[in-house]
């Protein structure tokens, strides 16, 4: 999903080291619902740690924008899901939650 979608909004981390970008992925068609994606990019030019790394992907949603709040320098809340950008195990992928509570 990295790099996909129409840019909606960006959110700068408290220390201004990272930027979270929200995107709407709409591949069209009556059978495919729009998707919301949030990617992280490092602001430092040299040795970027993240380059639009997808940390949140929600397919079955009526929302066309993500509610994004930085809680500290590396913890972010996306639509009330807590994500540590340095821990891929916390990244949200809707496929892992089919039939389960978030």
**Distances from the Cα of 35 to the Cα of 4, 13, 40, 66, 73, angstroms:** 10, 23, 17, 10, 26
Q: What is the pLDDT of residues 83-96, one digit of tens each?
A: 999 999 999 997 76
Residues contacting 45, CB < 8 A, separation 6+: none
* pLDDT tens, position by position, 12-48: 999 999 999 999 887 666 656 788 999 999 987 656 7
Distance from C-alpha of 89 to C-alpha of 8, rounded to nearest angstrom: 25
The pLDDT of residue 64 is above 90: no
Q: Which residues pair with 1 in a beta bridge?
A: none
Is residue 8's pLDDT more than 80?
yes
Measured CA distances, 69 to 2, 26, 30, 35, 84 (Å)? 20, 23, 32, 19, 12
Within its chain, how far is the Cα of 86 from the centroid?
A: 13
Selected residue with higher pLDDT from 11 and 65: 11
pLDDT value for 97: 60
């Amino acid at each position: 999903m990295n790099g996909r979608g129409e840019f909606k909004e960006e959110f700068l981390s408290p220390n201004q080291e990272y930027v979270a970008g929200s995107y709407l992925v709409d591949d069209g068609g009556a059978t495919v619902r729009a998707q919301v994606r949030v990617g992280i990019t490092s602001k430092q030019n040299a040795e970027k740690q993240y380059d639009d790394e997808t940390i949140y992907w929600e397919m079955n949603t009526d929302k066309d924008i993500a509610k994004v709040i930085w809680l500290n320098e590396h913890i972010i809340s996306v639509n009330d899901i807590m994500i540590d950008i340095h821990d891929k195990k916390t990244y949200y992928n809707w496929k892992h939650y089919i039939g389960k509570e978030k």
